[in-house]
Amino acid sequence: MNQQDTVQREWLIKTWDEYPPEWFITLHWRTNPQKIETVQSYIKEFHRVFRRKFHWKLKGRVTRSSNIPMFPKGIGMVHFHERSESYSSRTGKYMTPFHTHTHLSNTKGYFNSPDHLRNFLNEMIHECKKKKMKEYIVGKPELDIWSFDHLNTHF
């Protein structure tokens, strides 16, 4: 394990020790992205929209985006992107698109069941007019160090 992997693992362990994951989401992107940059742009938008909608639901009122607290005062998300082989019925070929696993923490007990979280997500996606959600897990996730919430291990 190299030094970067060790630091990332420490960030993740420290974060999950203090704010354990409460919910696990798998996002399969409708466009079947082949490039990590595409997935990172998707998850950046998902992260922004989810935080805003979650905060609005929690407070019961619309709030300026600049007033939504960042992790650890607000909700936390850790994203892993992975590739797995799938068959495209449209093209008749196999491909290896990315999909994303997201761990939610610090939700303050807002979601009371998997159905509550699923309804929240479906409503959010419907509002964004981007239906791209399925739930199953395959392959080996890769931590997205650029777009996740973590606690610094150095003080």
Place of tokens 């979650």: 54
The more confidently predicted of residues 61 and 39 is 39
Beta bridge partners of 80: 101, 143
* Domain boundaries, position 44: 3-143
Record the pTM.
Answer: 0.73
- 152 belongs to a structural domain: no
Give residue 123's pLDDT.
81
Split at pLDDT 50, 70, 90, the class of 66 is confident
Place of tokens 């990315």: 98
- 56 belongs to a structural domain: yes
Query: In the numeric block, which tokens belong to residue 95?
Result: 């491909």
- 151 belongs to a structural domain: no
- 153 belongs to a structural domain: no
> In terms of C-beta density within 10 A (0-12 exposed, 13-18 middle, 19 or more buried), how is residue 77 classed?
buried
- Cα(113)–Cα(109) distance, integer angstroms: 10
Q: Which of 66-70, 86-90, 92-96, 115-119 ranks highest by mean pLDDT?
A: 92-96
Per-residue pLDDT of 6-54, as tens digits, reads: 877 888 888 889 999 888 888 888 788 899 999 888 888 888 888 888 8
The more confidently predicted of residues 152 and 115 is 115
- 67 belongs to a structural domain: yes
- Cα(70)–Cα(35) distance, integer angstroms: 28
- 85 belongs to a structural domain: yes
Query: In the numeric block, which tokens belong to residue 117?
Result: 């979280």
- Cα(99)–Cα(55) distance, integer angstroms: 25
Report the domain count for the chain.
1
- 49 belongs to a structural domain: yes
Per-residue pLDDT of 101-148, as tens digits, reads: 889 999 888 988 888 888 888 788 777 654 445 433 333 344 444 455
- 86 belongs to a structural domain: yes
Measure CA of the first residue to CA of the last residue in the chain; give whole Å: 23
